[in-house]
Amino acid sequence: MGVITALLGIWGQLAGVRFLVYSLVISSLFVATSAISLAGKPILVAFLLLAFLLLYLIRTPGFLHRVWYLIQNNQAIKWFTAYCVFAVIVSVVAPTVFAGQVKILTFSAEGVFVGDLNFNTGHIAQIIYALAALTIFLTVSFIIQTNKSFQSVFASAILWMGVINIFFAVSDLLNFYIGFPDIISVFRNAEYAMLDQSFGSVRRVAGIFPETSAFSSFTAAVGCFAFFLYRAGFRSQLSRNVAAASLLLVVLATSTSGYVGLAMFALLVALSEMRQLRRGYLSKVVFFAAISGLSVALLMFILFYEQIMLVLDAAVFNKLGSDSGMERFSWNSLAWGDFLETYGFGVGLGGNRASSLLIVLLSNVGWIGFTLYCMAFFHVMKGSFIAQDSEQAVIGSAAKKGVLVALLPAMAAATAPFQGTFFYILLALANIRTKDK
């Protein structure tokens, strides 16, 4: 994988930034794929391709000056940079100041254990991830500001990434049900636990992700993004097919995180229809999507009643009372204690584990870091760039909705601050608004 990634990156230096953008976006799907290993730790494909993209961009005249200008003058970028800088500082200072005074929950090859706070590999890894998140956000922002047409290039790349994700998910299902050759295991080479969470004869779809939850929340965001692009007429046929297949796979995946993402998606669709509903009618796209969805759900419920009830009982109704639910609740309880014991300062990025992005941020970077993160998110949703045409506005609006669909499941299940390369690409695309009237 390292050789393949390097060849793509080298070819991108000749092929141009469009090729590298497509490569980076598609690589965000490979969250369990290591390109190389440094000191026994996996370096993801997306990070290596990001380095090659930066290698190309630094040859742009005035690159560093223009990036610095963005940090100074773009409110969302300014606040996100402040968050990342503060998070890194906390991650170095907190383990020193509170060493031996705070108990933390950590993971290792031997399992999960509670120990004293100290600077460890978890801090190092999450510091790298935080810097990578900032680099992705800045890089995507720089590209779309340098060339306005690249907003649509990123959108098209995400749609094709969605196609590949669907292919892997279908391959996963075929492998489970009919013994189709396992052609995707080669991409699961990073040091993550690959969890088979199937219920007997019912396959919980994971694709090339480490677990069903990660696949579902990721795919729900892709499906949401594609759906709102389709409604706006952007690459209608491709966006329609990606949206329909992605959202159907989220339903089939039987993940609580995925269903939370679908609930947010349904809310966003309902809100987008409020103006039409006040006038007494519903758009054809939403009407036929709702009818088709209900028809498929009813047919599946009739044909697979026992299997569906088994899944709903285990994955939804009794989730909080399950061993997994109780374990995650105990993580959050200990992480909240870390927040209080450090007087709201935090234990540093990767200093502990929790099962909620809210608790993760508060316990890792404290109330100051959490405030900086919220300010960055607020300005992204408000939009710091001004769209130059309707297509840019459409893509920015779809990205905002995709970010919300990705964020809600993270509030319930995320175990680390870094939310994946795709999330920060969407965040940069969402940082746009229509011209002030």
Given this model, what pLDDT does residue 87 score? 95
C-beta separation of 375 from 126 below 8 A: no
Lowest mean pLDDT among 217-231, 246-260, 293-307: 293-307
Question: Taking 50 as the threshold, does the pLDDT of residue 437 lie above it?
Answer: no
Given this model, what pLDDT does residue 331 score? 78
CA distance 97 to 342: 9
- The letter for the amino acid at 335 is A
Average pLDDT in the 394-400 region? 94
Given this model, what pLDDT does residue 193 score? 53
Given this model, what pLDDT does residue 273 score? 74
What b-and-e string marks burial along 367-378, b requiring 16 or more CB atoms within 10 Å of the CB? Answer: ebbbbbbebbbe
For 124-160, the pLDDT digits (tens) are 889 999 999 999 999 999 999 888 889 999 999 999 9
For 62-81, the pLDDT digits (tens) are 899 999 999 999 999 999 99
Question: Taking 90 as the threshold, does the pLDDT of residue 300 lie above it?
Answer: no
User: Does residue 217 sit in helix, strand or coil?
Assistant: helix
Per-residue DSSP letters for 45-86?
HHHHHHHHHHHHHTTSTTHHHHHHHHHHH-HHHHHHHHHHHH
User: Does residue 108 sit in helix, strand or coil?
Assistant: strand
Confidence at 15, pLDDT banded by 50, 70, 90 = very high
Burial grade of 306 (CB within 10 A; 0-12, 13-18, 19 or more)? exposed
For 96-105, the pLDDT digits (tens) are 888 878 888 7
CA distance 221 to 426: 9
pTM of this prediction exceeds 0.85: yes
Per-residue DSSP letters for 120-149?
-HHHHHHHHHHHHHHHHHHHHHHHHHH-TT
Given this model, what pLDDT does residue 48 score? 92
CA distance 99 to 101: 6
CA distance 104 to 126: 16
Give the HSE-up count for residue 207: Cα atoms under 13 Å, Cβ half-sphere.
27
Lowest mean pLDDT among 53-57, 201-205, 285-289, 421-425: 285-289
Question: Taking 50 as the threshold, does the pLDDT of residue 303 lie above it?
Answer: no
Question: Taking 60 as the threshold, does the pLDDT of residue 190 lie above it?
Answer: yes
Question: Taking 90 as the threshold, does the pLDDT of residue 426 lie above it?
Answer: yes
| Sequence ranges of the domains in the chain | 2-433
Q: Report how far apart, in Å, the C-alpha atoms of 294 and of each of 239, 287, 291, 300 are.
A: 21, 11, 5, 10
CA distance 269 to 402: 12
CA distance 420 to 216: 14
Given this model, what pLDDT does residue 110 score? 54
With residue 412 as reference, give the H or E element that holds it.
helix 390-413
